[in-house]
Amino acid sequence: MFTCAQCAVEACRSGQLDKMPKNCPLQDPAFFEEVLKEYFQPENHDFFVSSAAVEALGYGHWPRLREVMEFARRMGYTKLGLAFCAGLHQEAAVVDRIFRKNGFQVVSVICKTGSIPKDRAGIPPEFRVRPGTYEVMCNPIAQAELLNREGTQFNVCLGLCVGHDSLFYKYSKALVTTLVAKDRVTGNNPAAAIYCAGGYLKNRLELE
């Protein structure tokens, strides 16, 4: 079992392979040689090199929103998809405006598209946020399929719920990047819970 998160050596970064732990993935170099070949596949190579270029050129200078645009430009993408949560409608409007101002076509689809009540999707009453109201389901599969229909070249996920985002990634034909990760408690900054895991948010994370 691999335990990289608890590794204090990081031989992979230093190159000091003689110091790698016994359960380090690097103990199987043949595996990595096989994986390396995948980066040279036509559908992967330019994408991967463009990722490295954006990392290097904008390191510490470009916010993620600009990184998305710079990456899209390097890949020659002109038509972007924006799958967003209804709770971040205002933020989606800002992103849409900035993308368009920078020359991109934008197809945006809200999570509540279809207006399908949750009971029709088999969601029991105890799992409703506002019982007794007209509460429609989030529809990430429809979001993906609508963007597929429009032929978007690169899709951006903006604040979809945990699990809903996974289904969106699964059904999206275009590759996806996440611009905002949903976290209703921390103002959509999930890293805050990590930084505060031993303090302010300890009880909310159910830590002993």
Q: How confident is the model at residue 207 (pLDDT cuts 50, 70, 90)?
A: low
Per-residue confidence (pLDDT) for residue 108, from 0 to 100: 98
Domain boundaries, the chain: 20-61, 64-205
Is a pLDDT exceeding 80 seen at residue 144? yes
Burial 50-70 (b: 16+ CB within 10 A, else e): beeebeeeeeeeeeeeebbbb
Q: How far apart are CA 77 and CA 107, in angstroms?
A: 13
Is a pLDDT exceeding 80 seen at residue 189? yes
Burial 125-154 (b: 16+ CB within 10 A, else e): eeeeeeeeeeebbbbbebbbbbbeeeebbb
Distances in Å between the Cα of 195 and the Cα atoms of 18, 63, 136 are 32, 20, 34
Give which of 103, 171, 115 is closest to 141, Cα–Cα. 171
Per-residue confidence (pLDDT) for residue 203, from 0 to 100: 83
Is a pLDDT exceeding 90 seen at residue 182? yes
Averaged pLDDT, 109-123: 96
Q: How confident is the model at residue 201 (pLDDT cuts 50, 70, 90)?
A: confident
Is a pLDDT exceeding 70 seen at residue 21? yes
Averaged pLDDT, 168-182: 98
Averaged pLDDT, 120-137: 90
Averaged pLDDT, 156-184: 98
Average pLDDT, the chain: 95
Residue 144 exposure: Cα atoms within 13 Å on the Cβ side: 18
Averaged pLDDT, 164-189: 97
Q: How far apart are CA 160 and CA 164, in angstroms?
A: 6
Give the rounded percent of residues in the chain with a pLDDT score beyond 90.
89
Architecture of domain 64-205: 3-Layer(aba) Sandwich (3.40)
92 three-state secondary structure: helix
Could you read off the pLDDT of 33-86 as tens digits, one per residue?
Answer: 999 999 999 999 999 999 999 999 999 999 999 999 999 999 999 999 999 999
Is a pLDDT exceeding 90 seen at residue 208? no
Per-residue confidence (pLDDT) for residue 92, from 0 to 100: 98
Asked if residue 161 lies in contact with residue 182, where contact means CB atoms within 8 angstroms, the answer is yes
